Chain A
Amino acid sequence: MLHLKAHAAILKAYLKIMLTYRGMMILHLFRVVLMPLVIAAAWLSIEKADGNPYENSDYLLYYLLVPLVMNLTNSRSVFRFPVSVRDGTLSRELIKPYPPLMNIVIESFTNNLQMLLYLVPFTLISVFLFQSHFDFSFLSYKMVPISILAIFFGALTRLLISGSIALTGFWLEDVTTLNLLLNGSIWALLGGMIIPVATFPEKIRQIAELLPYRYMLSFPIEIFSGRLTTLAIYKGFAVMFFWIIIFSFTARFIWKRGIKIYSAYGG
């Protein structure tokens, strides 16, 4: 682990920079908090269909946790990387004996960390305000470390998928469309943003559980809510690891080809 000290130094640097430029965070916060709140309100106001395992209290807990998990698994690499290819700033990273994409990963992680500063109090206050509406009987402390583990690997999955899409920036001028399609819309639909995965119709749910999207949002919340059997948790991690391996190779493959056509513009 040669680079640990360097990772720490760079993380520190980004934290420092972000504390000096805080303005953008507020906008981002609205996006992360507002959308789940609106969707939650919609779910709470409609009649639930027969056979829907979620009650109002479940929806409430689910959507209160969505901002936290969504933020922790978020990756902004799709926006940063193509720019660094186009303006040639990737060259700065390539010249150093340090993993060239790590800067972007750490910067994105710092962003997520900083958002916690707002999100944690927001979530705690909300839980306090709505405590009479919750059903706490399913929750168990034992599930906390497992959910955190699921969030960590969910973040890794998302990073690798976003990263693979970001790396097509070696060829494509604009990767945001591809990202919106593969990572944004499908993620919102099948990851559990608009509809919690557990409440999908059986057939669709089975498909969603095999795709990577559920693991970036719904899965850690389902674990935390105490609604998954041990077997379902194991299965979930297995599927997630499968995607992590697939996209590690994909990202590597794209990188190896892309870096050869990188034209190091500028200078």
Chain B
Amino acid sequence: MKISTPNCDNCVFTEELGRDFNIRQKSQGLAASIKNFIRPSYKLVEAVRSLSMRIGFGEIVGFLGPNGAGKTTTLKMLSGLLFPSRGKLEVLGHSPFSREREFLSQISLVMGQKQNLWWDLPPIETFEIHRSIYNLDEKDFRGRIEELIDMLEISDCLETQTRKLSLGQRMRCELAVSLLHRPKVLFLDEPTIGLDILMQKKIRKFLLDYHARFKPTILLTSHYMDDVAALAKRVIVINNGLKIYDGLLSDLTEKMQPEKIITVILNSETFPKIEIPNVNIVSQESNLFRLKAPRENVGKLAAALYNTGLTIDLTIEDTPLEDIIGNLFTEKSNFQQFRTNV
């Protein structure tokens, strides 16, 4: 499957890319099982229906979508693991499924914590094996290891058998291995899954620092919206194997989130009269009030509240990203409208 380069400026290029899975149906009962054994019935799952996208060199793009949307399947096609059922696909000017050495030497895929590390060996030995596979010269290799150990704070777990490491340690070592050959493209599938908040933050910070230094193209899926918000300016939202949004995360939040949430604690249990339109009280627990107000009125509202002299504390929040994305899928009509506006 050789494809001519449609556009050299794109690091990742897909056009109507799709992949189906044939899932063998299990049947209940003996008679049905025998029938199924002789003539198996299959169900076709369109994991990715049709996906067209272009991603430039050095971009960080977040893949968003509910479980089963087709995010992982897409990453697997982009990294050459899966043969696409249809469409065009090019990464770094290569057709990933051909798995040419030059291509594989320039990419990395991190999918769970057992992708690259040898389970029965300490990470440092996996690093060595990696060095020989990617043919890295000794000096580069030492330098990069030092750098990664430093950035990821993993000096204390290098000599321990991987299976005995904690989830967070393993994930950081996994990242280190994946980056040793300094890939131009990094595919990250749920890099912070199962980690505690502190570790999630560490990994995000590392990825940001790393990207600032070496500018790899990063495609990241995560169901922690904070990951995506912290790392990616651009997001691609997919649902049921179809792209439903591709653009700046900030545009998405602004359009989808015309309101902000204001939490205010007053030294009174009655809310003062304030002449600002469209402010709604969502809930009240004694002197704690939760309000919703349009973005553009929040400033005025806060000022007005302080001016009453009743305000003890006041915080302004965005609607959680989870809810916004959730709304994309539930309020279809609403979103369709939004889409046509963009």
Contact = CB atoms under 8 A, between A and B. Distances in A.
B254 interface: no
Interface in A58-104: 89, 91-92, 94-98
B58 interface: no
A114 to B, nearest CB: 15
A95 B81 CA distance: 7
Interface residues of A, number: 28
Contacts of B111: 91, 266-267
Contacts of A10: 129
A17 B119 CA distance: 10
Interface stretch (A41-49, A226-234, A255-263): A255-263
Interface stretch (B132-140, B143-151, B296-304, B310-318): B132-140
Nearest to B73: A264
Contact of B135 (A2, A21, A263): A2
B132 A6 contact: yes
Interface string A1-35: 01101101110010011001100000000000000
B83 interface: yes
Given A8-B132, A92-B115, A266-B112, A97 B104 contact: yes
B207 interface: no
Contacts of B114: 89, 92
A21 B115 CA distance: 22
Interface in B114-168: 114-116, 118, 120-121, 125, 128-129, 131-135
A20 B105 contact: no
Contacts, number: 72
Interface residues of B, number: 32
B79 interface: yes
Contacts of B129: 6, 9-10, 13
Nearest to A10: B129
B82 A95 contact: no
A260 B81 CA distance: 9
Interface of B: 21, 72, 76, 79-83, 99, 101, 104-105, 107-109, 111-112, 114-116, 118, 120-121, 125, 128-129, 131-135, 189
Given A6-B129, A95-B107, 5 more contacts: A5-B135, A9-B132, A17-B121, A20-B120, A97-B104
Interface of A: 2-3, 5-6, 8-10, 13, 16-17, 20-21, 89, 91-92, 94-98, 259-264, 266-267
